[in-house]
Amino acid sequence: MSTVINLQPITRIEGHTKVAITLDDAGNVIDTKVHGQNLRGFEKFCEGRPVEEMPRIVCHICGICPWAHHLASSKATDGCFGVTPPPTAVKLRRLMQSIAYVSDKILHFYFLAAPDFVIGPDADYSVRNVVGIIKAAPDIAKQVVHMRHLGAQMLEGFAGRAIHPTFSVPGGVSKPMIETERQKMLGPAQELLEFSKFSMKFAKENVFPKYMDTIKSLGVIEVGYLGTVREDGALEFYDGKLRMMKSDGSYEDFSYDRYLDYIGESVLPWSYQKFPYAKKWGKLNLSLENPVGVYRTNCLARINVADKMATPLAQAEFEEFRAAFGRPAHYTLLYHYARLIELLQAAETVVQLLNDPEITGANIRAQVTAKAGRGVGCVEAPRGTLIHDYECDNEGLITKVNLIVGTTHNNAAMNLSVNQTAKTFIKEGKYDQGILNRVEMAIRAYDP
Please name the residues in contact with 331: beta carbons below 8 A apart, sequence gap of 6 or more: 215, 216, 220, 325
Q: What part of residues 85-114 is at the interface with another protein (CB under 8 A)?
A: 107, 111-112
Dihedral angle, C-alpha 311, 316, 322, 327, nearest 10 °: 20
Closest contact distance (angstroms) between CB of 433 and another protein is 5
Name which of residues 21 to 40 contact another protein (CB under 8 A): 21, 33, 35, 37-40
Nearer CB in complex with another protein: 35/105: 35
What is the C-alpha to C-alpha distance for residues 23 and 1, in angstroms, rounded to an integer? 9
CA angle 414, 303, 405 (to 5 degrees): 45
The residue within the footprint of another protein, chosen from 84, 142, 288, 358 (CB under 8 A), is: 142
Which of 2, 166, 206, 287 binds another protein (CB under 8 A)? It is 166
Assess 244 for contact with another protein (CB under 8 A).
Answer: no
Q: How many residues of this chain bind another protein (CB under 8 A)? A: 109
Does residue number 286 form part of the binding site for another protein (CB under 8 A)? no
Q: How far is the CB of 99 from another protein (least distance, A)?
A: 14
Stretch that binds another protein, among 250-258, 287-295, 328-336, 430-438 (CB under 8 A): 430-438
List the interface residues with another protein, window 42-81 (CB under 8 A): 43-50, 52-53, 56-57, 60-64, 66
Q: How far is the CB of 177 from another protein (least distance, A)?
A: 8
Using CB atoms within 10 A of its CB, is residue 148 exposed (0-12), middle (13-18) or buried (19+)? buried
Q: Using a CB cutoff of 8 Å and minimum separation of 24, what contacts does 227-233 make? A: 227/297, 227/301, 227/302, 227/304, 227/305, 227/306, 227/380, 227/384, 227/385, 228/302, 228/378, 228/379, 228/380, 228/385, 229/253, 229/305, 229/306, 229/307, 230/310, 232/307, 232/308, 233/306, 233/307, 233/308
Whole-angstrom Cα Rg for the chain: 21
The stretch among 228-236, 247-255, 256-264, 326-334 that binds another protein (CB under 8 A) is 256-264
Asked if residue 293 binds another protein (CB under 8 A), the reply is: no
Which of 266, 285, 352, 424 forms a contact with another protein (CB under 8 A)? 266
Output 348 or 389, the one with its CB closest to another protein.
Answer: 389
The footprint of another protein on residues 376-405 (CB under 8 A) is 389, 395-397, 400, 402, 404
